[in-house]
Amino acid sequence: MPDLTLDDQTARRFLLDWQGLLPPRELRGVDGVQAWMAHTRCVQFDPLDQCGRNADLTLQSRVRDYRPELLRIAIEQDRSIVEGWDKQMSFFPAEDWPGLARLRDGFGEGQDQRFGDREDLMQHVLGEIDRRGPLSAADLDDMGRVDWHWAPAKAGRAALEGLFYRGDLMITRREGNRKYYDRPRRVVRHEIAGAPDPHPDHQEYLLWRAERRLQATGMLRSSPDAWLGIDAKAQERKRLLGQLTREGRAVEAILDSSGESVWLPAGAEERIRQLPTGSIRSPQAALLAPLDNLMWDRRLIQTLFGFDYVWEVYKPEHQRLWGYYVLPVLYGDRLVARCEPTRNKRSSEVVLKNWWWEPGVRPSARMGDAIRRAFSVFLRFLEQPCLRPAGESWPSPGLDSLDSLRP
């Protein structure tokens, strides 16, 4: 039996502390973006932009005065962060790119099967990039269409994506959702682009992936929820966590409320000893991304926070419990609400379509002030001048303090 037992409050606070959310927004500038990425190793990308994209929403709750430009600087100028496959499409430190070669190899085999004998097309696109520099799909001549994923696609776009999947190209920048691709040697440092796979042994590779995922989340169960993108079945996940523990690279603990085992990063005991006890002084609020690292294991979040979260963008409207793009609301060490803000780019407003308090939450003036400050930060992040309700009044009692809010 593990020596470490965690009550729900301690587990919550450890998780939030690890995630840079206790309190939120303690990091600053490009250095803060790079520090958080070095700490967690991964933030998930998603192209939807209702009120900011997922990666930017994740970073704005950790980095004070965050703007999307800060991530762009880290990617396009410092070349310290790259985009690629990890937990789905993600941003991660450039130094991890060689270690994910095995994942790209798997994708590449699938793309080779799709393209069949069209290697000539792939080589033509590579030649165009060698000759002209970074290109997007719109920069390529019409080369017909090919079967691709869910539907036929332009051959040029499919070739760029296929070359990216297998590691012959990297995304060097984005303009909106338009991706520009280039050779790895021109995107990252030579010693990274030319590095061999540092984990030729498959088991060592899986251990590295498991340890990185533990870094990304701060707390892992052997259940599959937070393991997306790592090819390991139930027994293999338990074996990996056990080996990390024996090697001193992870700490096993028991959740007091459920009796379930969880694994924490090495050094967690000291971090737990430094957590605040009792009531949190000056609790702060933050709006979290729907695919925030904190939310990757939604069953664990249900256990620790009593917060049942479902991402409903792919559900038909009549099947949704809440809304299309809903953000969890953190206050202190609790998830107290969820909300649905939408950026209206034509009117330069953020519209709050809906708000749902969690059962048992009793809004106070102190909580209202913290939420007001969080929305003010959110408006600055979106560079929008005001927040207004979707209807004639605010969608929930306790939000009156948001009247006339400005960044």
Q: Which residue has the tokens 């994708």?
A: 107
pLDDT at 118: 73
Q: Where are the beta strands (DSSP E) in 327-376?
A: 327-331, 334-344, 349-357
- State mean pLDDT over 74-79: 96
Measured distance CA(13)–CA(133) in Å, rounded:
48
From the CB of residue 248, how many other CB atoms can be counted at a distance below 10 Å? 9
Task: List the one residue out of 23, 59, 8 whose CA is nearest residue 332.
Answer: 23
- State mean pLDDT over 218-242: 96
From the CB of residue 27, how many other CB atoms can be counted at a distance below 10 Å? 18
- State mean pLDDT over 38-64: 98
Amino acid making up residue 358: E
Cβ-based neighbours of 228, under 8 Å, separated by 6 or more:
87, 88, 296
φ, ψ of residue 79 to 5 degrees: the values are 55, 30
* Higher pLDDT, residue 119 or 109: 119
- State mean pLDDT over 175-201: 95
pLDDT at 167: 95
Q: Which of 279-283, 375-379, 392-396 has the lowest mean pLDDT?
A: 392-396
Question: In which band, very low, low, confident or very high, does the pLDDT at 346 lie, cut at 50, 70 and 90?
Answer: confident
Cβ-based neighbours of 101, under 8 Å, separated by 6 or more:
167, 197
At 31-42, the pLDDT tens digits run 999 999 999 999
Strand partners, 25: none
Q: Which two tokens stand for residue 93?
A: 């430190």
Question: In which band, very low, low, confident or very high, does the pLDDT at 402 lie, cut at 50, 70 and 90?
Answer: confident
- State mean pLDDT over 48-63: 98
- State mean pLDDT over 165-188: 95
Report the run of H or E that residue 103 belongs to, with start and end: helix 101-115
Question: In which band, very low, low, confident or very high, does the pLDDT at 111 lie, cut at 50, 70 and 90?
Answer: low
Question: In which band, very low, low, confident or very high, does the pLDDT at 146 lie, cut at 50, 70 and 90?
Answer: confident
pLDDT at 108: 67
Question: In which band, very low, low, confident or very high, does the pLDDT at 177 lie, cut at 50, 70 and 90?
Answer: confident
pLDDT at 151: 66
- State mean pLDDT over 68-94: 97
Q: Which two tokens stand for residue 24?
A: 């939120």
> pTM to 2 decimals?
0.95
pLDDT at 314: 93
Give the distance, in angstroms, between the CA of residue 189 and the centroid of all CA atoms in the same chain.
24
Task: Report the phi/psi class of residue 223: left, alpha or beta, with left for phi > 0 and alpha for psi in -120 to 50.
Answer: beta
Measured distance CA(173)–CA(96) in Å, rounded:
18
- State mean pLDDT over 303-318: 96
From the CB of residue 356, how many other CB atoms can be counted at a distance below 10 Å? 17
Q: Which residues of 7-25 are buried (b: 16+ CB within 10 A; e: fewer)?
A: ebebbbbbbbbbbbbbbbb
Strand partners, 124: none
Q: Are 324 and 313 in contact (CB under 8 A)?
A: yes
Cβ-based neighbours of 221, under 8 Å, separated by 6 or more:
260, 261, 262, 263, 297, 299, 300
At 246-266, the pLDDT tens digits run 999 999 999 999 999 999 999
Measured distance CA(200)–CA(198) in Å, rounded:
6
- State mean pLDDT over 267-280: 95
The domains located in the chain, with CATH, are 98-187 (no CATH), 285-402 (3.40.630)
SS3 169: coil
Measured distance CA(116)–CA(315) in Å, rounded:
35
Residue 112 has pLDDT above 70, yes or no: no
The β-bridge relationship of strands 43-44 and 153-154 is: unpaired
Task: List the one residue out of 100, 116, 97, 110 whose CA is nearest residue 161.
Answer: 110
Question: In which band, very low, low, confident or very high, does the pLDDT at 113 lie, cut at 50, 70 and 90?
Answer: low
Residue 398 has pLDDT above 80, yes or no: no
Task: List the one residue out of 175, 170, 143 whose CA is nearest residue 156.
Answer: 143
Residue 407 has pLDDT above 60, yes or no: yes
Residue 117 has pLDDT above 70, yes or no: no
SS3 265: strand
Measured distance CA(272)–CA(9) in Å, rounded:
11
- State mean pLDDT over 285-307: 98
pLDDT at 273: 97
Residue 58 has pLDDT above 80, yes or no: yes
What percentage of the chain exceeds 70 in pLDDT? Answer: 94
pLDDT at 403: 66
* Higher pLDDT, residue 119 or 330: 330
- State mean pLDDT over 143-170: 84
pLDDT at 393: 76
Q: Are 207 and 215 in contact (CB under 8 A)?
A: no
pLDDT at 386: 86
Question: In which band, very low, low, confident or very high, does the pLDDT at 367 lie, cut at 50, 70 and 90?
Answer: very high
Q: Is the peptide bond before 23 cis (omega within 30 degrees of 0)?
A: yes
pLDDT at 236: 97
- Taken in order 67, 55, 50, 134, the sign of the CA dihedral is positive
Task: List the one residue out of 315, 311, 306 whose CA is nearest residue 337.
Answer: 306
Q: Which two tokens stand for residue 317?
A: 């409207």
